[in-house]
Structure 1
Amino acid sequence: MTTTPGDRPDLPTVPDAELLRLDHQVCFSLHAASRAFGGFYRQALKDLGLTYSQYLVMLVLWEHGPQPVKAIGERLYLDSGTLSPLLKRLEAAGLVRRERSREDERSVLIEPTGEGADLRDRALAVPRNVLAATGLSVEEVLGLQDVLRRLTTALGEAADAA
């Protein structure tokens, strides 16, 4: 049996058996790349004392300042069950402070402490080190990011429609 491209004439006709090959799975390529990034970031962030997920939270706070937990979760595509323990560990490490919003007591604001803000200077080399490790040019990385954003949007819309 052969799968047809449906309403996508730019997709070639591919035998179903070929579609099941591991090497043809976009999700597997992304998974393998994500694991490789994870291994690299473990080393790159070791001196900062951060995990990759903690680094992402700090990036949001360094870029936008104090944020409600909900906004951080939306920005990082993390649910509260994943984000809450992460924030508790950052707070225990003295890098962030959690405080109920004065305007809405249901909302908890997260802000970097002085130590968390100072960590930003030590983190400045991380993006350049990552870029160098990829072996890609800046233009290639920017193109890849664009494709991945479009992929994320399309898959999110497809999941919402399902």
Structure 2
Amino acid sequence: MPEAACNPSHIEDLDPLALERQVCFALAVASRTVISVYRPVLEPLGLTHPQYLVMLALWGEQPLSVTDLSRLLDVDAGTLSRLLKRLEAADLIVRRRDPADERSLAVTLTSKGTSLRQQALKVPIEVVQRLGMSLDDLHAMHAQLTGVIAAAKLAAS
């Protein structure tokens, strides 16, 4: 790291618009790169990374309304609808009108979707191995990213 970056008295010497100093750039590259690590691990399951996130949510709790799933995954309804259609076509989920609220769609796993969870248990282990990082470092990064997400949501509101 350049000395100016470590020495607060030289902070004014640093270009505030330097690409490598931008948090947004580091987050975008990290996101794309980490998701690319997941791709070959998820391929044998027949899932894309966004589909995997939907399945993780449903393996945690079901049924979930489309609205709750959208909120939980922080994804818009249109994007989620396309993901759900593909998962339904793969016979991993079903969408049905919620008997308690006919306006709401309830999403549940099929038996095939439920059994896929057993195979998916290998995903986190393999991803951690591929990243070559300690669990402590990954947990600390997760906590920091969760803080960044909360701060960004607050700033955007």
TM-score, shorter chain, exceeding 0.5: yes
Cα separation, partners in 2 of 1:13 and 1:101, compared to 1, 3 Å: farther
Q: CA RMSD in A?
A: 1.6
Write 1 or 2 for the structure with the bigger share of helix: 2
Q: Deviations over 1:16-75 (max 9, x none)?
A: 861111100111111111111121111110000000000000000001121001111111
State TM-score, norm by structure 1.
0.88
| Seq. identity, % | 43
1:55 is matched with which residue?
Answer: 52
After superposition, residues 104-143 of structure 1 pair within 5 angstroms as 104-143=101-140
Deviations 1:96-151 (A, max 9, x none): 00000001111100001000001000111000111112221111111101100010
Letter aligned with residue 70 of structure 2: G
Alignment length, in residue pairs? 150
- For structure 1, list consecutive stretches of 5 or more residues without a partner in the other structure: 1-10
Aligned residue for 2:101, secondary structure, equals coil
Structure with larger RCO (C-alpha < 8 A, sep 6+): 2
In structure 2, stretches of 5+ residues that fail to align are 1-7
Deviation beyond 6 Å, 4+ runs, structure 1:
none
- Within the candidate set 38, 41, 46, 2:35 is matched to 38
TM-score by length of 2: 0.91
Counterpart amino acid of residue 155 in structure 1: A
